[in-house]
Amino acid sequence: MKLKRISMLLLLVITVFILNACSSQRDDEVAKKLLEEKYNEEFEILAIGKRYDVLENDTFEVTAAPLYDPSLKFLAKIGKNGTWIIDEYIQVLAEKEISDRVETVAKNLYQNYAIKVYVGWGESSITNKKDFSLERYKEEIPGYPIVIDIVVNEYLSPNINVEKEYEAFSNLFSTELPYDMGLDIFYTTNENVEKSKTKFKEFAETYQDFYDLMEGSKKRGTGIDEGKMMVPFEAFKNQSVFNGMG
């Protein structure tokens, strides 16, 4: 009798495992199909997230990336068994473009650093990456938040010319990124820079673990209003210690 119960329990576990695997495979196929139809390019589904809906449990999340660049990870939500999709692919393209423009300044200022850009979600009419431009995106969705975080190894760059740093970013925002956004520069250890590089490659919707990592680091920050840095140089120059709160 005991052996029979164990066999039945094992059979139940195997059945649940198979059903979950089949469900995940179907979710994978549905998400991939919807993304490829929407953007006319190939995607890979990197992970199946939670499934939810109070009544029917028919909405689910996936982490996806275009085949041409698996580092461009983004979240997509699919509902009603594939009847609609909301995704952050265009936001990821915007983040990549902003990061590339910031990189042109950072590489001339710092010896070891990491850059992370966050662009808030907004519905866009762009359905082909060939039609994407940051300028078009910001015309469509002007009010959504943009945050730029730069993590710098202060021990490899102990003699950073703050005036040069301020001037370089002022020029960048006024000419290449004339939008509303926030900039935070953290000056920390090499270990934290390397951890940040790893973390920024991961897909995560929360910043709290990053803020925890930066706690106790020196920080300079400013808001940018239509390309103008809102914090004057003298205030920017005075570093503060980050308390770990986002």
113 pLDDT exceeds 80? yes
**pTM of whole model > 0.85?**
no
Q: Report all structural domains of the chain as residue ranges with CATH numbers, in order of start.
A: 2-87 (3.10.450.520), 90-240 (3.10.310.80)
> For 55, which DSSP code?
T
Tokens at 235, concatenated: 């205030």
Please list, in sequence order, all residues whose beta carbon lies within 8 angstroms of the beta carbon of residue 147, skipping any fewer than 6 positions away: 117, 118, 181, 182, 184
pLDDT of residue 52: 67
15 pLDDT exceeds 50? no
User: Each residue of 18-28: pLDDT tens digit?
Assistant: 434 444 558 88
Question: Cα separation of 222 and 184, whole Å?
Answer: 7
Question: Cα separation of 219 and 184, whole Å?
Answer: 7
User: Each residue of 156-202: pLDDT tens digit?
Assistant: 766 688 999 999 999 999 999 999 999 999 999 999 999 999 888 87
Chain centroid to CA 46: how far? 15
Share of the chain above pLDDT 70, in %: 82
Let me know: does 222 contact 149? Beta carbons within 8 Å: no
User: Each residue of 44-67: pLDDT tens digit?
Assistant: 999 887 776 645 557 899 999 999
Question: Cα separation of 88 and 185, whole Å?
Answer: 25
